[in-house]
């Protein structure tokens, strides 16, 4: 093939697998980079406001250090750029974005081809498994390096523009730390993926490890018994000391060593693996079996698999447990920490008043004073920020797998070849997604009811149930939006991406709209305003506005059904 061929550049002679891995990541890289750049711009704007607030700086000196530590605030450095960025960028959003990206990429690289039956082809060429693995791992590492590079470059620019006064070496050292942290958990995903060959196990294992390591590090300040385990948490190696100030050190080496060991174990596992052994068709009837403990897989849950509703629900069963369990865990953590906060609500309240309101607004809390009450504090994560985010993602993913993906794979053709009305098929799928969303919210709701009883928060069951109902309806609203987009276009781009962007915009509209006069009139259009507005859901019982969420969800599902009945399938 002549050199001038444009394909030659896309698929090079050297490292084709690595280059393909990078190419496959390019969209995600651009999206994540834009998000990171926006985040850093936001932090750059916020920081001077905070630093120049005299009330706040005077106030911080009076607070008990333990309370501040729980907020990730080091009084000695919080009012420096390094301390501020440590609290918001490097402890929270940076790792969140980078780890989701790296774990997702590693999981895809090590399991997607096997799932799609492509690994057979890939490994039939004269390229050793070790090399396939090394190129894939290298691709993931380079892609995450690019992402961390964008973060670092954006921070260098923000440092210059907003006069943050950071040391360049500190920014570089922190970037290296963050990259190595990502590599380590990416390697964990590779290891789990090479062991099981399944995306759910790979991403799930790495995700659970990440959350555990993060919690152990974060809560070791509050609970002394966590100090031992915290020393073994990669987040401790990464965050202690502050990577922006610590320079080059033992943390880097630990992260690097752990990454190398994990990746090497993953490579060994990948070399020994039987590729796609479970894809082999079942043997003929009457085939001999080994004498010992014969395992026959019985048809599972036949009663569930008897219809579209049951099948859709059955497909979501693991997700329901995983997402509901995660939310319940988060809820219990919040309830468990409330007693130590409630001992000094006055101090907490003055701290909350002194912090810039924009920071809270970004987290969905437009009324920071409420955080000093049980309802406000306990609502802030489960019902006002992480909770809604997770429930919406869950509902939209439901639409994505049960509708978009089935159309894409041709399963929907098969389904609609049966004498089943399209309207009924969609209705069954939509109600299964709705029901699974109810179950996902039910799990943390039960956790909250238990937490309420154990830690005596005085919220009351009615408030908890009402907050759960609102949360569920919020998820259904955006699930309905995704359904409409899918019914109109049939492709995953609008159904997933536009819904994601729309929900994020609505979330910020509610939070920031409370602070910006110009936005106030449109703010009432945000579904998040209907759900929590300015008052924490746990403190206000069932609101009539929740019915608006319900009406919206129903109307969109109805519209989607009508549109879908006339659409050409899978074109």
Partner 1 sequence: MGAGKAGSGAPRTIETAGLTKYYGNTPGIVDLDLAVEAGEVFGFIGPNGAGKTTTIRLLLNLIHPTRGTGAVFGMDIAGGSLSIRRRVGYLPGDLAVYPSMTGREFLLYFSRLRGIDTAAHTSLLAERFDLDLDRPVKEYSKGNRQKVGLVNAFMHEPDLLILDEPTAGLDPLGQQEFGDLVSEVRREGRTVFLSSHNLPEVERVADRVGIVRRGRLIAVDTLEGFRSKIRSNLSIEFASPADPAAFAALEGVTVTGVRKGGSLLRLSVAGPHDAVVKAAAARNVRAVASEEADLDEVFFSYYENGGEAGADPDAEG
- For the record, the structure tokens of 330 come out as 């988060």
The answer to whether the Cα torsion of 397, 206, 72, 445 is positive or negative is positive
Shortest Å, Cβ 283 to partner 1 = 5
Least distance CB 290 / partner 1 (angstroms): 4
- Shortest spacing between CB 120 and partner 1, in angstroms: 5
Please tell me whether residue 224 binds partner 1 under the rule CB under 8 A: no
Closer to partner 1 at the Cβ: 57 or 491? 491
Could you tell me how many residues of this chain bind partner 1 (CB under 8 A)? 44
The values of phi and psi at residue 371, to 5°, are: -65, -15
Token pair recorded at residue 398: 């439901």
Of the candidate spans 95-103, 160-168, 282-290, 326-334, the one that interacts with partner 1 by CB under 8 A turns out to be: 282-290
Shortest Cβ distance from residue 132 to partner 1 (Å)?
9
Taking the complex as a whole, the smallest distance from the CB of residue 314 to partner 1 amounts, in Å, to 24
End-to-end CA distance of the chain: give it in Å, rounded.
33
Which stretches of 16-78 are DSSP H helices?
16-24, 26-51, 54-60, 65-70
Q: Write the CB contacts of 254 (distance below 8 Å, at least 6 apart in sequence).
A: 234, 237
Supply 423's token pair. Answer: 């309207």
Residue 286 touches partner 1, criterion: CB under 8 A: yes
Window contacting partner 1 (CB under 8 A); options: 52-60, 122-130, 166-174, 234-242 = 122-130
For residue 283, the 8-state DSSP code is P
**Long-range pairs for 8-13 at CB < 8 Å and ≥24 separation?**
none
241 binds partner 1 (CB under 8 A): no
Q: Which is nearer to partner 1, 68 or 122 (CB)?
A: 122
Beta carbons of 444 and 328 less than 8 angstroms apart: yes
Q: Does 287 bind partner 1 (CB under 8 A)?
A: yes
By the rule CB under 8 A, 31 interacts with partner 1: no
- Looking from the CA of 485 toward its CB, the CA atoms found within 13 Å total 22
As a whole number of angstroms, the distance between CA 498 and CA 479 comes to 12
Q: Hey, which residues between 77 and 116 contact partner 1 (CB under 8 A)?
A: 116
Residues 536 and 379: beta-carbon distance below 8 Å: yes
Q: Does 517 bind partner 1 (CB under 8 A)?
A: no
Nearest to 194 by CA among 124, 265, 257, 258: 265
Q: Which is nearer to partner 1, 139 or 326 (CB)?
A: 139
> What one-character-per-residue DSSP string does 455-503 give?
HT----HHHHHHHHHHHHHHHHHHHHHHHHHHHHH-SHIIIIIIHHHHH
Q: Is 280 in the site for partner 1 (CB under 8 A)?
A: yes
Residue nearer to partner 1 on the CB measure, 293 or 566: 293
Q: Minimum CB separation from partner 1 for residue 10, in Å?
A: 7
Nearer to partner 1, 287 or 346 (CB): 287
Does 417 help bind partner 1 (rule: CB under 8 A)?
no
Cβ-based nearer residue to partner 1, 279 or 423: 279
Site for partner 1 in 424-463 (CB under 8 A): none
Of 286 and 544, nearer to partner 1 (C-beta) is: 286
User: Are the beta carbons of 130 and 267 closer than 8 angstroms?
Assistant: yes
124 binds partner 1 (CB under 8 A): yes
Q: Note whether 4 binds partner 1 by CB under 8 A.
A: no
Rounded (5°) CA angle 325-328-330: 110
Q: Is 301 in the site for partner 1 (CB under 8 A)?
A: no
Rounded Cα distance, 26 and 38, in Å? 18
Select from 117, 228, 241, 462 the one that contacts partner 1 (CB under 8 A): 117
Q: Does residue 318 touch partner 1 according to CB under 8 A? A: no
- Applying CB under 8 A, does 568 fall inside the site for partner 1? no
The verdict on 275 binding partner 1 (CB under 8 A) reads yes
302 binds partner 1 (CB under 8 A): no
| Cα 213 to Cα 217: distance, rounded to the nearest angstrom | 6
Pick one of 67, 70, 122, 515: the residue that binds partner 1 (CB under 8 A): 122
Q: CB nearer to partner 1: give 8 or 461.
A: 8
Residue 123 contacts partner 1 per CB under 8 A: yes
Least Å distance, CB 381 to partner 1, is 38
In whole angstroms, give the CA distance from residue 220 to residue 236: 10
Q: Which two tokens stand for residue 376?
A: 């406000």
d(CA 465, CA 452): 12
Nearest to 427 by CA among 251, 300, 307: 307
Around 493, how many Cα atoms within 13 Å sit in the side-chain half-sphere?
3
Minimal distance, residue 390 CB to partner 1, in Å: 29
Interface positions, 457-516, toward partner 1 (CB under 8 A): none
Span of 222-230, 284-292, 392-400, 475-483 interacting with partner 1 by CB under 8 A:
284-292
Stretch that binds partner 1, among 10-18, 230-238, 306-314, 543-551 (CB under 8 A): 10-18
Q: Which is nearer to partner 1, 121 or 250 (CB)?
A: 121
**Burial of 295 (C-beta count, 10 Å sphere; 0-12/13-18/19+):** exposed
Integer Cα distance of 322 and 201 in angstroms: 11
From candidates 54, 61, 288, 517, binder to partner 1 by CB under 8 A: 288
Of 3, 4, 13, 346, which lies in the binding site for partner 1, with binding defined by CB under 8 A? Answer: 13
Nearest to residue 143, comparing CAs of 91, 106, 177? 106
**Residue among 4, 54, 126, 521 that touches partner 1 (CB under 8 A):** 126
Least separation in angstroms between residue 116's CB and partner 1 is 5
- Residue 201 or 345 with smaller CB distance to partner 1: 201
Q: Which region among 142-150, 230-238, 277-285, 486-494 touches partner 1 (by CB under 8 A)? A: 277-285
Q: What is the sign, positive or negative, of the torsion defined by CA atoms of 535, 538, 541, 543? A: positive
Q: Which residues bind partner 1 (CB under 8 A)?
A: 1, 7, 10-13, 16-17, 20, 24, 116-128, 272, 274-284, 286-290, 292-295
């Amino acid at each position: 093939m002549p050199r001038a061929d444009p394909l030659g550049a896309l698929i090079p002679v050297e490292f084709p697998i690595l280059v393909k891995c990078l190419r496959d990541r390019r969209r995600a890289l651009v999206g994540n980079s834009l998000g990171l750049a926006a985040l850093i711009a936001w932090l750059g704007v916020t920081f001077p406001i905070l630093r120049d607030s005299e009330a706040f700086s005077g106030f911080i000196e009076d607070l008990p250090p333990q309370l501040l530590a729980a907020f990730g605030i080091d009084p000695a450095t919080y009012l420096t750029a390094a301390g501020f960025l440590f609290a918001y960028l490097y402890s929270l959003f940076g790792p969140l974005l980078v780890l989701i990206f790296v774990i997702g990429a590693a999981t895809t690289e090590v399991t997607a081809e096997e799932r799609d039956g492509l690994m057979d082809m890939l490994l039939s060429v004269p390229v050793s498994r070790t090399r396939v693995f090394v190129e894939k791992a290298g691709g993931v590492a380079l892609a995450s390096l690019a992402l961390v590079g964008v973060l670092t470059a954006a921070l260098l620019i923000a440092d210059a523009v907003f006069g943050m006064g950071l040391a360049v070496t500190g920014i570089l050292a922190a970037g290296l730390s963050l990259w190595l942290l990502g590599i380590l958990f990416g390697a964990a995903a590779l290891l789990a993926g090479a062991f099981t060959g399944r995306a759910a196990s790979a991403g799930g294992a790495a995700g659970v490890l990440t959350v555990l390591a993060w919690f152990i590090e974060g809560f070791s300040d509050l609970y002394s018994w966590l100090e031992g385990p915290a020393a073994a948490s990669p987040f401790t190696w990464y965050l202690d000391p502050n990577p922006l100030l610590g320079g080059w050190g033992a943390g880097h080496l630990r992260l690097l060593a752990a990454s190398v060991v994990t990746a090497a174990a993953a490579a060994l596992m990948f070399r020994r693996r039987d590729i796609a052994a479970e894809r082999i068709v079942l043997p003929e009837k009457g085939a001999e079996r080994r004498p010992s403990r014969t395992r026959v897989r019985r048809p599972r849950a036949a009663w569930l698999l008897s219809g579209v509703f049951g099948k859709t629900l059955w497909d979501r069963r693991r997700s329901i447990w995983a997402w509901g369990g995660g939310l319940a865990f988060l809820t219990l953590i919040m309830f468990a920490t409330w007693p130590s906060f409630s001992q000094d609500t006055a101090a907490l309240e003055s701290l909350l008043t002194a912090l810039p309101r924009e920071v809270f607004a970004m987290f969905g809390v437009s009324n920071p004073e409420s955080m000093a009450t049980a309802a406000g504090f306990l609502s802030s994560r489960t019902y006002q920020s992480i909770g809604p985010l997770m429930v919406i993602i869950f509902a939209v993913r439901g639409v994505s797998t049960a509708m978009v993906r089935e159309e894409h794979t041709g399963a929907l053709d098969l389904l609609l070849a049966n004498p089943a009305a399209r309207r009924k098929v969609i209705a069954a799928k939509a109600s299964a997604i709705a029901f699974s969303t109810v179950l996902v919210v039910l799990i943390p709701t039960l956790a909250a009811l238990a937490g309420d009883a154990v830690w005596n928060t005085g919220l009351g069951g009615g408030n908890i149930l009402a907050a759960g109902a609102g949360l569920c309806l919020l998820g259904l609203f955006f699930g309905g939006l995704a359904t409409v987009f899918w019914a109109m276009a049939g492709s995953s781009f609008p159904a997933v991406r536009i819904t994601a962007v729309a929900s994020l915009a609505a979330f910020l509209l509610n939070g920031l709209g409370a602070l910006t006069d110009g936005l106030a009139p449109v703010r009432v259009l945000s579904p998040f305003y209907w759900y929590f507005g300015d008052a924490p859901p746990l403190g206000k019982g069932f609101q009539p506005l929740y019915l608006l969420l319900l009406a919206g969800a129903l109307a969109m599902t109805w519209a989607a059904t009508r549109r879908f009945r006339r659409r050409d399938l899978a074109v």
